[in-house]
């Protein structure tokens, strides 16, 4: 029996199925394919919404409490093993309870997003080309059966030649090139349902798109990043000035520890400048919603909202991929007719 069980759900025949984790998907060799990487990125954005204040603060509180108890036990001349035994079991129990409480929601989000992109939630097998029987599509890898109607599209998910030889380094570098600060994590659609929100940088959706769809994504990104640009530049400059003062002060002391601190701060300052400029400071959900909807793009998953179907009388459009409901601006709403 596993102490930390995997997220699990039932397939569309009612059989229990374990759900593949986001970490396995991030290290999948198909991550070099833009369509696969975009699906994984969308899933990671959706799982951020599940992190409440409790799940964010709990690890920090456990770390602070653990350090405090370790310090007290060491002051009492106890062994470090005893100090860990004081706080580690309660910390693991708290982590287990928090993780167990959110597993069902994680499993549902993971299954919905992976199936929309033609990926089996149980084993990440590509469902393209699998036979359909009684509206059910059965995965030949793990045997799970899913409704064909839950799949929005299929992909080939090609891999680059020679990728497996340098897999860890290539995967790390690809994530560095497309690194995105979280920014806003959730948004409410026009039916007041909370949804994940796209990153203002739209790095992975743009890599996976082409044609007019890609042009609209690029326009939306330019509009979103135009907000808060001055704040990001000023924040970067303020940090660089502070880092420069600290570096000069440490170098003037001349001690080895101070010299090491100064040399360590130089690359840290450069890296922080890049993160600040590529961040999302000054960009809020209203900026994202306006820029995306004006170009008929879903603010929750970056899907194309331009369809051949007529708009309903209510004027609301349902995203064909994530199910979010939006009211398109009137100049663009005519494209749905």
> What pLDDT is stored for residue 158 in this prediction?
63
Residue 289 lies in a domain: yes
Residue 209 lies in a domain: yes
Please determine, for residue 285, whether its predicted confidence score (pLDDT) is greater than 80.
yes
pLDDT one-digit tens code per residue, 9-28: 888 888 888 888 888 887 78
**What average pLDDT does this structure show over 63-85?**
70
d(CA 134, CA 148): 9
d(CA 72, CA 59): 20
Range of the domain at 328: 203-336
The strand pairing partners of 325, in sequence order, are: 318
d(CA 8, CA 119): 16
State whether 29 and 157 are in the same domain. yes
Average pLDDT of every residue of the chain: 78
d(CA 323, CA 148): 16
State whether 89 and 142 are in the same domain. yes
Contacts of residue 155, defined as CB under 8 A and 6 or more positions apart, other chains included, come to 33, 35, 36, 117, 118, 126, 128
pTM as predicted:
0.66
Residue 102 lies in a domain: yes
| Dihedral angle computed from the Cα positions of residues 195, 201, 203 and 205, in that order, rounded to the nearest 10 degrees | 40
At residue 53 the predicted structure's pLDDT band, cuts being 50, 70 and 90, is low
- Identify whether the C-beta of residue 265 lies closer than 8 Å to the C-beta of residue 164: no
Residue 181 lies in a domain: no
Q: Say how many residues make up the chain.
A: 337
pLDDT one-digit tens code per residue, 170-220: 555 555 555 555 567 788 888 888 888 888 888 888 888 888 999 999 999
**What average pLDDT does this structure show over 289-303?**
91
Out of 175, 194, 224, a domain closes at 175
């Amino acid at each position: 029996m596993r102490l930390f069980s995997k997220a699990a759900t039932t397939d569309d025949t009612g059989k229990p199925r374990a759900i593949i984790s986001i970490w396995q998907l991030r290290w999948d060799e198909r991550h070099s394919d833009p369509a696969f990487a975009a699906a994984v990125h969308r899933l990671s954005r959706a799982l951020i919404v599940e992190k409440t204040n409790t799940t964010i603060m709990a690890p920090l509180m456990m770390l602070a409490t653990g350090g405090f108890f370790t310090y007290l036990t060491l002051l009492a001349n106890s062994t470090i093993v005893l100090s860990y035994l004081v706080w580690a079991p309660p910390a693991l129990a708290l982590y287990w309870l928090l993780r167990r409480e959110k597993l069902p929601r994680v499993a549902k989000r993971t299954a919905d997003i992976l199936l929309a992109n033609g990926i089996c939630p149980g084993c990440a097998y590509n469902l393209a080309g699998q036979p359909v029987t009684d509206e059910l599509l059965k995965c030949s890898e793990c045997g799970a059966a899913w409704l064909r109607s839950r799949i929005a599209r299929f992909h080939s998910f090609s891999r680059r030649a020679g990728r497996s030889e340098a897999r860890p380094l290539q995967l790390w570098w690809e994530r560095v090139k497309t690194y995105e600060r979280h920014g806003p994590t959730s948004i409410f659609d026009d039916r007041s349902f909370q949804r994940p929100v796209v990153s203002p940088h739209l790095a992975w959706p743009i890599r996976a798109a082409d044609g007019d769809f890609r042009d609209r994504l690029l326009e939306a990104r330019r509009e979103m990043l135009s907000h808060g640009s001055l704040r990001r530049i000023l924040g970067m400059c303020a940090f660089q000035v502070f880092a420069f003062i600290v570096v000069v002060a440490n170098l003037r002391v001349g001690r080895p520890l101070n010299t090491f601190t100064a040399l360590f701060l130089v690359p840290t300052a450069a890296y922080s400048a890049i993160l600040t400029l590529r961040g999302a400071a000054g960009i809020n959900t209203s900026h994202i919603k306006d820029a995306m909807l004006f170009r008929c793009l879903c603010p929750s998953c970056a899907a194309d909202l331009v369809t051949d179907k007529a708009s309903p009388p209510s004027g609301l459009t349902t995203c064909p991929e994530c199910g979010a409901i939006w009211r398109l601006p009137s100049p663009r709403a005519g494209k749905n007719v």
